[in-house]
Structure 1
Amino acid sequence: MTARPAAGHGAVTRRTTEPAPRAHDRDRHDRRGERTRRKGHRIVKFTLDDLNRIIETHIDIDGRVTEDALDIPYAELGMDSLGLVELAERINIAHHVPVPLDIIEEMRTPRLTVDYVNEHLGGGGAEASGER
Structure 2
Amino acid sequence: MKFIIFLVLPLLFLSSSVSSDTYIGKWEITGGSVIEIYKDGDYFFGKINKRAKRPLSNLNGLDNKNPQKELQGRVLLGMNILENLSYKDGVLSGGTIYNADSGKSYIVKVWINSDDTDICYIRAYKSLLFKTFEARRVN
Q: What's the TM-score, normalizing by structure 2?
A: 0.26
Bigger helix fraction: 1
Q: Normalized per residue, which structure has more strand? A: 2
Q: So what's the TM-score if we normalise by structure 1?
A: 0.26
| Rg larger in structure | 1
